[in-house]
Amino acid sequence: MLLENVFTKESIIVGLESTEKDELFEEMVEALHNLYPDFDREQVLAALNEREAQMSTGILHAVAVPHAFASSVHGTIGAIGISREGIDYEALDGSPVKVVFMLVAGEDQTEKHIQILKSLALLIQKNGFVDKLISCKVPSEVYDLIVQSEVAV
């Protein structure tokens, strides 16, 4: 039940407009900033880009999990984005990304951050999970699928 505390229906974007990674980060950080206006937007973008420069967070199965730590963030916050067209993400497998789980955590959240990444990895590996996410039409469907699937893991 960890993921339902990080992602909210309001932090889910079904129908991302971005076609490239830089645009994607802007779009998703903006959505998070609308929900949590206290964090430093530029600091979070810089932290995400710095982490991404180390190695692509575009993993297999058309999924990316950009994540970073930022001192202006309290706790751990997240957004989910779904792209129908796919995003040029420079993913490890070379495929366009269609599902994005963005995580931003305060600097004191290392253990929780690792637990969340582990939970996401388990869900992503479930047969058919990513395809079900891509087929969701509204944020509440995405949220419900994640909550139900996390319980089943």
Q: How many CB atoms sit inside 10 A of residue 82's CB?
A: 19
Domain that holds residue 50: 3-152
Residue 27 CA to residue 56 CA, distance in Å, equals 18
Say whether 87 sits in a helix, a strand or coil: strand
Contact by Cβ (8 Å): 88, 21: yes
Amino acid 150: pLDDT: 80
For residue 32, what are the contacts with CB-CB under 8 A and spacing of at least 6?
A: 11, 39, 44, 77, 78, 79, 102, 104
Q: Global pTM?
A: 0.95
The CATH code of the domain that includes 117 is 3.40.930.10
Over residues 27-46, mean pLDDT: 96
pLDDT at 152: 64
β-pairing verdict for 97-105 and 76-87: antiparallel
How many domains are contained in the chain?
1
Model confidence pLDDT, tens digit, residues 65-123: 999 999 999 999 999 999 988 999 988 788 899 999 999 999 999 999 999 999 999 99
Give the residue-averaged pLDDT of 13-22. Answer: 93
Would you call 8 helix, strand, or coil by DSSP? coil
- pLDDT classification of 60: cutoffs 50, 70, 90: confident
Contact between residue 48 and residue 116 where contact means Cβ atoms under 8 Å apart: no
- Does the pLDDT value for residue 44 go beyond 90? yes
